[in-house]
Amino acid sequence: MKIKSFFLFLVLLAWTSVQAADLPRAEYPRPQMERQAWVNLNGEWTYTLDLVKSGHERGFYQGKAFDGKIIVPFAPESELSGVKYLDFIPSIWYQREITIPADWSGKDILLNFGAVYYESEVYIDGKFANRHFGGSDSYTVDITKFVKPGGTHSLVVWAKSDLRDRMQSAGKQSTRQGSFECMYTRTTGIWQTVWMEAVDPAGIANVKYTTDIDRNEVSMQFTMRRNLNGNKLSIKVMDGNKVVATAQGTVASGSIFNLPVKKAKWWTPESPNLYDVVMTLQDANGKVIDEVKSYFGMRKIHTQGNMIYLNNQPYYQRLVLDQGFYPDGIWTAPSDEALKNDILLSKAAGFNGARLHQKVFEERFHYWADKLGYLTWGEAPSWGLDANAIEAARNFIAEWKNVVKRDLNHPSIVTWTPFNEEFWPDQRQYPRFITDVYTLTKEMDPTRPINTVSGGQHIVTDIWTEHHYEQDAEKLRQILFEKAEGSKDADIYTRDHSIQERLRGNVGFNRPVLSDSYEYPVYKSDIPYILDEFGGIKCVEANPIKDRNLSWGYGNSAVTKEDFYKRLESQVRLLIENSKKIWGFCYTQLTDVELEQNGIYYYDRSTKYDMERIRSIFQMELPQ
């Protein structure tokens, strides 16, 4: 009997392993708060499109299976979802059964969503459990009161999206029926991993790391799910297999533990040292009630004068624009390996980081950036918002707050960029909106600089940025340093002689305008200036123009690859030689994306150019 039971156990174990291997995106999705007791809910769900949004009236929330099949976590617009519906999806319903492990009794059952675009509702056995606004931020639903350990229940998720309403962040999702220029296929509904985990009612809710390389210590501030007298927390910090710091004591929400890290190894792109952390929570009787694995990196980022410093040394950022789109998964990477590979491709091309453009990247990307040593600028998909509308501002601020809170522990993120290319829709709401977001971000995370409006109208910012796609290096020099007559921006600066006089000698000002009621700010040389979009060079030899409606790039195309190399080198050399004025750049872009064909790599990540030559250009040495 015992032999038979053991055999059945082995069969079950093998079957479970096969099931895990078959799951799409099977890796644990939150590497800085990792627990053992979890269940991945990716894989096949049932679904139905609700194009006229009548599903509530028809009782779709009641828990019955739908006719269609979809593979989560891939959006219905994607090939990997098995659906590939490319028109607008105003509403979609998902359903699957979930089985709660019997040994989760006495625990809180948490249902986690990496991201669902845009507004979503959750139902368990037909009962409403949660509503969430925001398409890029992660959220958790406590479903304890709706489920029974050992029981099986019907989970229904409803999602809706209305890009044309302009009340939600859209990023690069097309507001036309199809893709056009630099606007791409949409993402609707579930697009990141869904999972359950069991957590003690008094377990750890969150930890915030603040590393201080000047004092060789790390500060850990905790938020607990509930405060109970007598609960004790033990913290162990590891450098590989070596314990380098420990702490223990009673804990409650707001508790701060300061741990010295002697002879700390700093995190840099060249040496991405990380410290592993194990946090063990015991109740008043000494019973372990929660254990979380995590990590952090000791690093400091700050601005001083017109430079950005990493670990107290000036650090020149050679960034690439990464939009995080995939041919088969759209916003969702087909695998964890694909996330890692994008970083390796970028580093191979000579970049030390990326501006993560108009998309909130999933936590696994940040994990690989931390592991591999890769600087990133975290950005929101702000395009599509009506920045003059109060509701849009409210939606954005709530979502952005969650994004910053989720990601601020990642050492690879060195700059926050809430907005991209906003240009004064009004003189009352817009300045208030931008200032509120800057202030909120700085209060949540005072350790990083903020590039408030990349390439747009800055109101308050720590870094001044501009976007220029002039293809001729000499004309680009004039635009950047002379604002010469005849440049594409010249008319803006010659409307008022007083403006021209005030701007003489400045670098990097973003379309300043004077009005009766408000004076727009101009660049001052006491903060760093970065050209965080330039290039975007399309090459006919690399991307033949078969149909101009199916091919898009900035400016006139280079004809041959040799023309491309020479143009690229001339633009990068201009910036490198003027690095004392412009402290860093971001080249557009890492890969082609749908119609936009100006990537260093093709959309499928295959090689387009001589990468040794590309690397030598982007790694050009700074002048002494």
Q: Tens of pLDDT along 571-606?
A: 999 999 999 989 999 999 999 999 999 999 999 999
Residue found under tokens 């940025």: 465
What six digits make up the tokens of 581? 């004025």
Enumerate the β-bridge partners of residue 303.
308
Output DSSP code: residue 515.
-
- According to the model, what pLDDT value does residue 20 have? 54
Q: Summarize the confidence of residues 472-500 as an average pLDDT.
A: 56
Enumerate the β-bridge partners of residue 534.
587
Separation between Cα atoms, residue 245 and residue 217, nearest integer Å: 10
- According to the model, what pLDDT value does residue 548 have? 63
Separation between Cα atoms, residue 619 and residue 316, nearest integer Å: 11
Are 268 and 311 contacting, i.e. CB atoms less than 8 angstroms apart? yes
Burial of 484 (0-12, 13-18, 19+ CB in 10 A): middle
DSSP collapsed to 3 states, 258-319 = EEECCCCCEECCCCECCEEEEEEEECCCCCEEEEEEEEECECCEEEECCEEEECCEECCCEE
Of 88, 79, 46, nearest to 188 by C-alpha is 88
Where do the domains of the chain lie?
19-199, 214-298, 311-535+563-592
Are 112 and 142 contacting, i.e. CB atoms less than 8 angstroms apart? no
CATH of 311-535+563-592, one of 1.20.1440.80, 3.40.640.10, 3.20.20.80, 3.90.25.10: 3.20.20.80
CA angle 538, 378, 520 (to 5 degrees): 85
Of 85, 86, 89, 158, nearest to 119 by C-alpha is 158
Residue 134 predicted with pLDDT over 90: yes
Residue 364 predicted with pLDDT over 60: yes
Q: Summarize the confidence of residues 25-54 as an average pLDDT.
A: 97
CATH class of domain segment(s) 19-199: mainly beta
Reported as a pLDDT band with limits 50, 70 and 90, residue 222 is very high
What fold, for 214-298? Immunoglobulin-like (2.60.40)
What six digits make up the tokens of 360? 């909130």
- According to the model, what pLDDT value does residue 551 have? 81
Global pTM? Answer: 0.92
Higher-confidence residue: 24 or 509?
A: 24
Of 281, 289, 265, 316, nearest to 529 by C-alpha is 316
Residue 13 predicted with pLDDT over 50: no
Enumerate the β-bridge partners of residue 152.
99
Are 411 and 146 contacting, i.e. CB atoms less than 8 angstroms apart? no
Residue 533 predicted with pLDDT over 90: yes
Are 111 and 207 contacting, i.e. CB atoms less than 8 angstroms apart? no
What six digits make up the tokens of 409? 């522990």
DSSP collapsed to 3 states, 559-570 = CCHHHHHHHHHH
Instruction: Report pLDDT digits (tens) over 59-104.
Output: 999 989 999 999 999 999 999 999 999 999 999 999 999 999 999 9
What six digits make up the tokens of 273? 């040292």
- According to the model, what pLDDT value does residue 624 have? 85
CA 484 to chain centre: 37
